[in-house]
Amino acid sequence: MQKIKNLAFLLMFSLLLFSCGEYQKVLNKGTTEEQYKMAVKMYESNKYGKALRLFEKITPAYRGKPQMERISFMISQSNFNEKNYSISGYYFDRFAKNYPKSSKKEEAAFLSAYSYKLASPVFSLDPTDTNKALESFQSFINTYPDSDKIPEANKHYKELRYKLEKKYFEIAKTYYRTADYDLRNYKAAIQAFDNLLSDFLGSEFKEEALYYRLKAAHDFVLKSFDRRKPERIKDAIEAYEKLKRNFPESQFMEDANLMLATLEKEKVRIDALVAKQKEYENSKKK
């Protein structure tokens, strides 16, 4: 029994060596046709890395020929299966554009978007691939409204949008949290929250963003010189009214009401100072 196992192992090892030797021979010295056949063989055997090396060699020779459509799709799929997602996203997109009559055009368009989604990093990192994925899924949804992939595309789009919203929400909060060390970050936080609310209508972070927008404006008032306060008080009160209008039962209303009281008290003080200043200036004219 052991002898049979040993023979079977030796046979498999020999076949593996032969297979590797055959691949290297075709890769290095084979004709273009032989390399094409070997590339397809590697692809169909799920050896995508080896297939890609051969596809890279034969692409110039097949460019413009009928086989190129099949090669292009296999290159895209091979990169996808090798988890080269940014690259597969690019190649699937090119395939869909270069072969508009292909039966695989819809599949390629979906896989391009999905590739970019898989390449998309955690929300705190560079959102380039996230943006590409969002654009690609939106394009797919618009182009193939009757596709059976639409529910999945919508699901991916929603997840990506949430990731992007969270990124910009956290950026705005970071500006606010660091404003004690750099007062310019109050203005940056206010602008960042405004951008989030205008760019992502119906955002899941809307209530919290409106609250922090008010908080940033309120704190900015308290840290400002008196001559800067009238306009900033007005802005902060408008932020309060917007929060209350959109979320009258907000979990943040108790704190928001306290901030409003502070702002109104400060407004009374500043208005009195302004009135006194005007009275003084008028007396000087007389």
What lies within 8 Å, CB to CB, of 281 at 6+ separation is none
- 171-178 long-range contacts (CB < 8 A, ≥24 apart) are 172/196, 172/209, 172/212, 173/212, 175/216, 176/212, 176/215, 176/216, 176/219
Q: Is residue 9 part of a domain?
A: no
Q: Is residue 87 part of a domain?
A: no
Which CATH number goes with the domain that contains 194? 1.25.40.10
pLDDT above 70 as % of the chain:
89
The pLDDT of residue 124 is above 70 = no
Q: Terminus-to-terminus CA distance in the chain, angstroms?
A: 121
Beta-carbon neighbour count of residue 225 at 10 Å?
Answer: 6
Q: Which pLDDT belongs to residue 153?
A: 97
Q: Is residue 115 part of a domain?
A: no
Give residue 274's pLDDT band: very low, low, confident or very high (50, 70, 90): confident
Q: Which pLDDT belongs to residue 12?
A: 52
Number of domains in the chain: 1
* Cα–Cα distance for residue pair 47/165, rounded to 1 Å: 39
The pLDDT of residue 101 is above 90 = yes
Q: Is residue 10 part of a domain?
A: no
pLDDT tens per residue across span 81-100: 999 999 999 999 999 999 99
Give residue 128's pLDDT band: very low, low, confident or very high (50, 70, 90): confident
The pLDDT of residue 264 is above 90 = yes
Structure-model confidence comparison of residues 69 and 202, the more confident one:
69
What is the overall mean pLDDT for the chain? 89
Give residue 15's pLDDT band: very low, low, confident or very high (50, 70, 90): very low
Q: Which pLDDT belongs to residue 18?
A: 46
The pLDDT of residue 156 is above 60 = yes
Q: Domain range holding 273?
A: 182-281
Q: Which pLDDT belongs to residue 90?
A: 96
Query: What is the average pLDDT across 194-206?
Result: 94
pLDDT tens per residue across span 158-187: 999 999 999 999 999 999 999 989 999 999
- 123-126 long-range contacts (CB < 8 A, ≥24 apart) are 123/163, 123/164, 123/166, 123/167, 123/170, 124/167, 124/170
Q: Is residue 105 part of a domain?
A: no
As given in the structure block, the two tokens for residue 196 are 């989030």
At 192, the amino acid letter reads A
Query: What is the average pLDDT across 14-23?
Result: 59
SS3 281: helix
Q: Is residue 256 part of a domain?
A: yes
Query: What is the average pLDDT across 51-57?
Result: 94
Give residue 132's pLDDT band: very low, low, confident or very high (50, 70, 90): very high
Q: Is residue 205 part of a domain?
A: yes
The pLDDT of residue 193 is above 80 = yes
Q: Is residue 31 part of a domain?
A: no
